[in-house]
Amino acid sequence: MPQPLDAASDFPFRPVAIQRSKWTHHFHVWSPKLARRLALYSWQAIDFWAMIESHASILTFCELPGFILVDQRPHIADFVLRKSEGDEFVVLDGLPLSTLDTHERDILDPLPVTSVSTDALKPHRQWIDNWLRILPYVTSNFRFVTPRLIDFVEKNLSSAKPLFTIERDALPADPVLTRTAVFELARLGRLVSADLNATPLSLHTRFVRTGQIEGVHRG
């Protein structure tokens, strides 16, 4: 039986340099999962990146890792993901990109390829929008969150509670740091919130420790 993969072992992928026209979007984001900045080139890539960051089951990833064959033609993969059960390439249905070295056509070793259309992301729109609001908290504030606050928040959520209650219970801790602790625990899969699938993020969004309530799941 194959052993589950971990995030670090034998993950050789690095992003390729992209040739961008002035008509192509260009976004820079900070990835908590990778602890580095990413360059992304479409709104669809931003949406899928938010999905990646929100799922602890994705151990690591790389954006624009190089060329793969799609319908027997070279195509730059938008992402490569590592999950515990294996690696896979992801291809979005946006505009194709080219590398700075237009002669570069080395094909990466084959892996399963998942194609993701814009329509496939629509059912996850609320989840994505909420995580695009959550991730800046983690990026900007988590370095100020103490292990003691993390432990307090997690231990105090054996039942689902809204953010305003979690923040009140943690006083005199700064509510922004308490909120950041909640979001980081959710990012790590240690807290869950069914509300993130259904309603905009607010002080009424409820979180609970993973496994405490049957039927509560990630998006």
Note whether 138 and 180 are same-domain residues: yes
Q: Comparing 22-36, 77-91, 122-136, which segment has the lowest mean pLDDT?
A: 22-36
Confidence of residue 215 (pLDDT cuts 50, 70, 90): very low
Question: What are the strands, taking DSSP E only, across 50-127?
Answer: 58-63, 67-70, 73-76, 79-83, 86-92, 98-99, 113-116
Q: Residue 24 belongs to a domain with what CATH number?
A: 3.40.1350.10
β-pairing verdict for 67-70 and 58-63 = unpaired
pLDDT value at 6 more than 70 = no
Compute the average pLDDT of residues 193-214: 91
- How many other CB atoms sit within 10 Å of the CB of residue 47? 22
Compute the average pLDDT of residues 35-63: 96
d(CA 217, CA 169): 24
Phi and psi at residue 30, to the nearest 5°: -100, 130
Does residue 23 sit within a domain?
A: yes
pLDDT for 100-112, tens place per residue?
A: 665 667 889 999 9
Does residue 6 sit within a domain?
A: no
Counting residues of the chain whose pLDDT is more than 90, the rounded percentage is 74
Does residue 12 sit within a domain?
A: no
Note whether 69 and 107 are same-domain residues: yes
Confidence of residue 211 (pLDDT cuts 50, 70, 90): confident
Note whether 98 and 79 are same-domain residues: yes
Q: Comparing 3-12, 69-78, 153-162, 196-205, which segment has the lowest mean pLDDT?
A: 3-12
d(CA 41, CA 192): 30
Note whether 148 and 85 are same-domain residues: no
Q: Is 112 exposed, middle or buried (0-12, 13-18, 19+ CB in 10 A)?
A: exposed
Q: What is the mean pLDDT of the chain?
A: 90
> What is the domain extent for residue 23?
18-116
pLDDT for 113-160, tens place per residue?
A: 999 999 999 999 999 999 999 999 999 999 999 999 999 999 999 999
Does residue 186 sit within a domain?
A: yes
DSSP string, 65-84: --EEEETTEEEE-SEEEEET
Confidence of residue 218 (pLDDT cuts 50, 70, 90): very low
Does residue 218 sit within a domain?
A: no
pLDDT at res. 203:
97
Among candidate residues 86, 116, 146, the one where a domain is terminated: 116
Note whether 81 and 142 are same-domain residues: no
Ranges 58-62, 90-94, 107-111, 208-212, most confident: 58-62
Note whether 54 and 110 are same-domain residues: yes
Among candidate residues 116, 139, 155, the one where a domain is terminated: 116
Note whether 62 and 148 are same-domain residues: no
Specify whether the CB–CB gap between 45 and 95 falls below 8 A.
no
- How many structural domains is the chain composed of? 2
pLDDT value at 20 more than 90 = no
Chain position carrying tokens 């027997």:
72
Among candidate residues 71, 100, 116, the one where a domain is terminated: 116
pLDDT at res. 3:
56
pTM score, two decimals? 0.89
